[in-house]
Amino acid sequence: MTEVTIGNGMTTSFWSDSWAGEPLRKQWPLLFEASRRKNKTVADALDDDHWLTDLRGRVSLDLLLDFVALRQVVRGCSIDPQVEDIFRWKSASGVYSASSAYAMQFDGSLKSPLRHILPAWAPPKCKFFMWLLLQRRVFTADRLLRFRMPNQYFCPLCRRNLETPAHLFAECPWSREVWERSAASLSCPAIRATDADDLALSWAVSKLAGTDRRAASLTILVAWELWRERNRIFLNTGLQSSDSAMEHVAKKDAT
């Protein structure tokens, strides 16, 4: 989390500090493991090439290649005994703060879609459903197949393709017609289906993140109604597996 500008090398760790880009222990883990003294400063390690005499163990081709690469880095390093090492925090200001340290913990991570779902005007069950949808946790046919559970395989709405979340809510012609009519009748063009809708369900994220609260709410509610209609058709047509059909008959006999 810090960047180091080498001066005299007296306070900089040879293996653990970022004086040569990434810490050397991360760039060359084999050499780090082979070193007997892992806590030396840069000044101590470069003095008479002590980092070389610290290496122990069997020599392999990978270790030799790493050694050559590190040797080039060390040769390019110069030490000025009159200047102290400078440590700079990896932030825009270069100054440490609790907020910058907290933000670094999430550097490179994906932001949760909940931040777009929670502010919407929709019942909690609809918001929870949308969260499951964006996590690909709704039990469409592809997910049922993965767990070897009974399913109808095809989309119940169009009966053309394997039912996946992306197909059911974005690609299915019947669903796209629902989005178009909903956008027209509710005067909300933001929820209209577009050609940008893709297999990654980015259509839902873009609609939730790039629109106002009303459009995000309508996105959730229309998706919920599509799911309810899918379940109604699914239950009325019955499952296509013989096991599920027998279970359905048994339940009817019991009642």
Could you state, in order of their start, the residue ranges of all structural domains in the chain?
2-104, 114-254
- Render each residue's pLDDT in the chain as its tens digit; 255 residues: 677 778 888 888 888 888 777 888 888 888 888 888 888 888 888 888 888 888 887 778 788 888 888 888 888 887 888 888 877 776 656 666 676 666 666 555 555 667 778 888 889 999 999 888 888 888 998 888 888 888 888 888 888 888 888 888 888 888 888 888 988 888 888 777 765 444 345 455 555 555 577 888 888 888 999 999 999 988 887 544 333 433 443 444 444
Smallest CA-to-CA distance from 138 within 112, 166, 171 is with 166
CA angle 210/173/192 to nearest 5° reads 25
Q: What are phi and psi of 154, to 5 degrees?
A: -80, 155
Q: Where are the alpha helices (DSSP H) in 29-159?
A: 29-34, 42-46, 50-53, 61-75, 98-104, 114-117, 124-134, 141-146
Task: State the residue for tokens 């590190």.
Answer: 70
**Beta-strand runs (E) in 122-222:** none
Helix (H, G, I), strand (E, B) or coil at 154: strand
Answer for the pair 236, 156: CB distance below 8 angstroms, yes or no: no
- pLDDT recorded at residue 59: 75
What amino acid is encoded at 149 in this protein? M
The answer to whether 156 and 238 are in contact (CB under 8 A) is no
Name the 3-class secondary structure at 41: strand
Rounded to whole angstroms, how far apart are CA atoms 12 and 155? 62
Distance CA 201, CA 134 (A): 7
- Residues 6 or more apart from 150 whose CB is under 8 A from it? 144, 239, 240, 241, 243, 244
Q: Which helix (H) or strand (E) holds 89?
A: strand 86-89
- pLDDT of 228 reads 92
**Residues ≥6 apart with Cβ < 8 Å to 10:** 41, 43, 84, 85
How far, in Å, CA of 70 to CA of 209, rounded?
46
pLDDT of amino acid 123: 92
148: phi > 0 → left, psi -120 to 50 → alpha, else beta; which? left
Sequence letter at residue 120 = A
